[in-house]
Amino acid sequence: MDIINDEYYMRLAIDIAAKAKGQTGINPVVGCVVVKAGRIIGIGTHLKRGSGHAEVHALDMAGDEAKGATVYVTLEPCSYHGKTPPCSERIVASQAAKVVVAMEDPNPKVAGRGIARLRECGVEVKVGVLAAEARLLNEAFIKYITTGLPFVTLKTASTLDGKIAAKSGDSQWVTGPKAREMVHTLRHQHEGIMVGVGTALTDDPLLTTRLSVPAISPVRIVADSSLRLPRTARLLQDGATRTYILTTERADPAKIKALEAAGAKVVASGAGKHVDLRRAMKRLGELEIGSILLEGGGRLNGAMLEEALIDKLMLFYAPKIIGGAAAPVNFALNGWDRMADAVQISQMQVEVVGEDVCLSGYPIYPGQTKR
């Protein structure tokens, strides 16, 4: 019975945390539920980096009733002074009797110390309830905090024959309104949205989040080795959010100056002819961009895949066949010589989205083992 109860309340905590996805920057999303005598007396989630954590909000709601209660939290309570005081100390001060934790915090600053501190103070701690679901909830945070690199989700929209536009270049629209709305939700949930300069020149996109409810627009990232993006590009004119332009160390200083005068931040990565994408991801991580939604064309998608820089795939397919040998495709890359060397997709899921379908999963690159 305890297992059933623990999973029920932890699932509620996970659901609460998920609602704040996209709001916490490089911080994890965390949910907390405080329960006493079979009654929920406090709930909370982390709403913004630098603001109170989930445990604080939930315990504030519970008040004096928190004494002797059980605290359910999706991530190990922190144990150090950062932008906010340690949550483990707040729990101890509340005199809660038990804490149920979904997963340990992979942050080296915590990494079991919060749990140890609670136990030192006589609080009963149970770890591992719905751990897989908790890890999925914070998959971007886990990669960023352990590697310093952003978690990259590739999104494409194509016809059944893999074309992202007609041979004329027309792409309005490949998928239907439900799929496009889902993509805007994905934008809200990522810290950056990335395209290649070809896409920026062809579509002149805004790259903002447009939903029926208020949403956060991620920073915009354009891979542009030769700095072909004009100062008149719409993503440099609207001021909705910052734009980063990835280029090379060979870039024309005059063009750099002009683009930065227009409000962009130019990031040079690599001395070669093309952007060094691996170095670029490291640099974006240093700029505290912990997650990126890649919406590139075939060349950028292919280059990111060849460099094993894509962590997750979300491939939207419309029930259409457009044909055309010259029509652009999802992935333009040299590829591998043997089928045994192909990138495998694990944990594949299929979701019907309006009139379209979304295939999602995680790439396993040649030489890698399964996730």
> What's the predicted TM-score (pTM) here?
0.92
Q: What is the CA radius of gyration of the chain?
A: 23
Could you tell me which of 265, 270, 231, 230 has the C-alpha nearest to residue 250?
A: 270
* Amino acid identity at 149: L
Q: Are 43 and 14 in contact (CB under 8 A)?
A: no
**pLDDT tens track, the chain, 371 positions:** 466 699 999 999 999 999 999 889 899 999 999 999 999 999 999 988 877 789 999 999 999 999 999 999 999 998 776 666 788 899 999 999 999 999 999 998 888 899 999 999 999 999 999 999 999 999 999 999 999 999 999 999 999 999 999 999 888 889 999 999 999 999 999 999 999 999 999 888 899 888 877 788 899 999 999 999 999 999 998 877 899 999 999 999 999 999 999 999 999 998 889 999 999 999 999 999 999 999 999 999 999 999 999 999 999 999 999 999 999 999 998 888 899 889 999 999 999 999 999 999 999 998 787 66
DSSP codes, 47-111: -STTS--HHHHHHHHHGGGGTT-EEEESS----S-SSS--HHHHHHHHT-SEEEESS---STTTT
Could you tell me which of 46, 45, 39 has the C-alpha nearest to residue 68?
A: 39
> Which whole-number Å values give the CA distances from 14 to 46, 53, 116, 137, 153, in the listed order?
12, 14, 23, 8, 21
Extract the tokens encoding 126: 């149970």
SS3 label, residue 152: strand
Distance of alpha carbon 361 from alpha carbon 348, whole angstroms: 4
Which residues are catalytically annotated? 55
Residue 146 CA from chain centroid, whole number: 15
Extract the tokens encoding 206: 């805004």
Distance of alpha carbon 43 from alpha carbon 310, whole angstroms: 35
